[in-house]
C-alpha cells in the first residue's frame, strides 16, 4: 500500500512523482487535499469503475453470443477487442497535450522509447486477447468469469515485484480466497452445464487458456502502472487516453495481421451469411463488442493511473458475480452449488481487500491530521 504521502498524492490526483520527492526533500508534509480535489478524484475513479464493470460484462456476454449464433473466427473475436481505438481520437483532439506550468513538470521521454513501450504493450495485448477468445469459446460464460478471478492473485505477485506493492494479511487472504474460488471451478466438471455451443472435451484447454490469459493480463496492468510511474511520470487524462490509443492500435494491427495470415478472413463472408440472427445482427454484435471493450479498456487504464494495477484488478473482479448472473438469465447457464460457493468465496476475498483499503485510508487520515496539528502548533509557537 504505500506510505501516507504516496496515498495522499493518489487521493489528490494532482501531483507527480517528482513533486513527491520535492516534498520529501524539504522535510515538509504534503498539504491535505481540498474537498474539491477529493470529490474530483472520487468522481474520476467512480466513472472508471462503472466503465469497467458495465463494459466487461456486456463485452463478455456479446462475445459468447457471437459464438452461439454461428460466429467461429477466433481472430475476428480478437480483433474486436482492440479495434475500437478510433473512439479515443475525439477525446485526444479535444483535450490535447497541455504542458504543466509548474517547477516540478517532468521532461517527456524520447518518442522512440515511448513508441517501443506502446508497441510492446500492444503485442502483449493481442496475444492476451487471442487467448481470451479461445477461452470464451471453450468455456461457458459463467465458468469463464469465475476462473478469471485469478487475475487478482497473479496481479498481486506482479505488483509486489514490479510496482513495490506491499502485502498485508488481508491482501494475502484475498489472494488465497480468489485462487481457491477459481480452483473450485477448475476441479468441478459438473459445473459446466450450459445451453451455449461449447465444444465437447475442451474444458481443460479452456481452463488453462483462461488462467494463462489472466496471468498475462495482470502482467500488462503492472507494466502499464510501471510506465505511468517510471517513464511518463504523469497520470493525466491525456496520458491515459494516449496509452490506450496507441497500445490498442498496435494490438489491432497484430490482430488484423493474424486474421489475414491465418486465412480466416476468407471465411467471414460465409460466416456473416450463416449467422443465425442475420447479417445486420452479425455486424451489430461485433460493433457493440468493440465499443464495450474500448470502454472497458478506458476504465482499466484510468484506474491504473489514478490508483494502482492491483486495485484495478480488484474492481475487475467485482464484476465476477455479474457475468455468471447474466449468463444464467440470457444464455441458460446452470448456476449450481459449486459456482455459487466459488462466487461467495470470491466476494469474500474482494471484501477482504476492500477492508484493507479502508484501514489504509483511515491510517492516512490520522497521520495527515496529526501532521496538520503539529504544523499549527509550530506556527503558533513561532508567532
| 101 found inside a domain | no
Cα–Cα distance for residue pair 320/340, rounded to 1 Å:
11
**Interior angle at CA 323, CA 317 and CA 326, nearest 5:** 155
Phi, psi of 246 (to 5 degrees): -75, -40
pLDDT in tens, 52-69: 988 988 998 898 899 989
CA torsion 35-163-152-119 (nearest 10°) is 100
CB 122 within 8 A of CB 247: yes
Can you give the chain as a three-state secondary structure string?
Answer: CCCHHHHHHHHHCCCCHHHHHHHHHHCCCCCCCCHHHHHHHHHHHHHHHHHHHHHHHHHHHHHHHHHHCCCCCHHHHHHCCCCCHHHHHHHHHHHCCCCCCCCCCCCCCCHHHHHHHHHHHHHHHHHHHHHHHHHHHHCCHHHHHHHHHHHHHHHHHHHHHHCCCCCCHHHHHHHHHHHHHHHHHHHCHHHHCCCCCCCCCCHHHHHHHHHHHHHHHHHHHHHHHHHHHHHHCCCCHHHHHHHHHHHHHHHHHHHHHHHHHCCHHHHHHHHHHCCCCCHHHHHHHHHHHHHHHHHHHHHHHHHHHHCCHHHHHHHHHHCCCHHHHHHHHHHCCCCCHHHHHHHHHHHHHHHHHHHHHHHHHHHHHHHHHHHHHHHHHHHHHHC
| 174 found inside a domain | yes
| 278 found inside a domain | yes
Total Cβ atoms within 10 A of residue 168: 14
Nearest residue to 77 via CA among 225, 282, 226, 273: 282
Total Cβ atoms within 10 A of residue 365: 15
Domain span at 328: 42-95+109-190+199-381
**Interior angle at CA 221, CA 220 and CA 222, nearest 5:** 90
| 232 found inside a domain | yes
Which residues of the chain are under the pLDDT cut of 70?
Answer: 1-35, 38, 97-106, 182, 185-197, 318-324, 333, 383
| 140 found inside a domain | yes
Question: CA-CA distances (angstroms) from residue 296 to 49, 54, 79, 168, 291?
Answer: 9, 8, 15, 29, 9
Question: CA-CA distances (angstroms) from residue 303 to 4, 78, 240, 336?
Answer: 19, 23, 10, 33
| 10 found inside a domain | no
Total number of domains constituting the chain: 1
Q: How far apart are the first and last CA of the chain?
A: 38
CB 130 within 8 A of CB 258: yes
**Interior angle at CA 16, CA 250 and CA 313, nearest 5:** 55
Q: State residue 278's pLDDT score.
A: 93
Q: State residue 4's pLDDT score.
A: 37
C-alpha cell at 375: 504544523
Q: State residue 16's pLDDT score.
A: 41
What's the pTM?
0.76
Q: State residue 336's pLDDT score.
A: 73
| 294 found inside a domain | yes
| 16 found inside a domain | no
Amino acid at each position: 500500500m504505500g506510505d501516507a504521502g504516496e496515498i495522499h498524492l493518489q487521493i489528490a490526483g494532482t501531483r507527480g512523482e517528482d513533486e513527491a520527492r520535492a516534498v520529501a526533500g524539504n522535510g515538509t508534509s504534503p498539504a491535505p487535499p481540498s474537498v474539491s480535489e477529493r470529490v474530483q478524484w472520487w468522481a474520476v475513479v467512480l466513472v472508471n469503475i462503472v466503465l469497467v464493470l458495465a463494459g466487461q460484462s456486456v463485452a463478455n456476454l456479446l462475445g459468447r453470443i457471437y459464438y452461439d449464433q454461428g460466429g467461429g473466427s477466433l481472430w475476428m473475436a480478437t480483433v474486436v477487442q482492440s479495434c475500437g481505438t478510433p473512439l479515443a481520437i475525439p477525446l485526444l483532439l479535444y483535450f490535447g497535450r497541455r504542458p504543466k506550468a509548474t517547477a516540478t513538470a517532468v521532461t517527456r521521454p524520447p518518442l522512440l522509447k515511448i513508441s517501443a513501450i506502446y508497441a510492446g504493450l500492444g503485442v502483449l495485448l493481442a496475444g492476451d486477447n487471442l487467448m481470451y477468445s479461445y477461452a470464451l469459446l471453450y468455456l461457458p460464460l459463467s465458468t469463464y468469469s469465475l476462473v478469471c478471478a485469478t487475475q487478482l492473485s497473479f496481479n498481486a505477485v506482479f505488483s509486489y515485484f514490479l510496482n513495490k506493492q506491499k502485502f498485508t494479511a488481508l491482501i494475502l487472504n484475498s489472494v488465497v480466497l480468489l485462487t481457491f474460488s477459481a480452483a473450485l471451478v477448475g476441479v468441478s466438471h459438473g459445473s459446466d452445464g450450459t445451453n451455449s455451443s461449447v465444444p465437447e472435451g475442451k474444458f481443460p484447454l479452456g481452463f488453462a487458456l483462461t488462467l494463462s490469459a489472466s496471468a498475462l493480463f495482470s502482467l500488462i496492468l503492472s507494466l502499464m502502472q510501471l510506465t505511468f510511474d517510471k517513464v511518463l511520470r504523469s497520470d493525466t487524462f491525456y496520458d491515459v487516453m494516449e496509452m490506450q490509443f496507441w497500445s490498442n492500435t498496435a494490438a489491432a494491427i497484430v490482430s488484423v495481421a493474424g486474421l489475414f495470415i491465418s486465412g480466416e478472413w476468407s471465411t467471414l463472408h460465409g460466416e456473416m451469411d450463416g449467422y443465425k440472427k442475420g447479417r445486420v445482427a452479425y455486424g451489430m454484435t461485433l460493433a457493440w463488442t468493440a465499443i464495450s471493450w474500448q470502454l472497458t479498456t478506458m476504465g482499466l487504464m484510468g484506474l491504473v493511473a489514478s490508483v494502482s494495477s492491483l486495485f484495478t484488478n480488484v474492481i475487475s473482479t467485482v464484476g465476477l458475480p455479474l457475468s455468471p448472473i447474466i449468463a444464467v438469465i440470457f444464455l441458460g447457464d446452470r448456476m449450481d452449488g459449486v459456482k455459487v460457493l466459488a462466487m461467495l468465496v470470491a466476494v469474500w476475498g474482494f471484501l477482504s481487500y476492500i477492508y484493507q483499503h479502508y484501514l489504509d485510508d483511515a491510517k492516512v487520515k490520522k497521520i495527515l491530521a496529526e501532521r496538520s496539528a503539529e504544523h499549527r502548533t509550530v506556527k503558533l509557537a513561532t508567532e
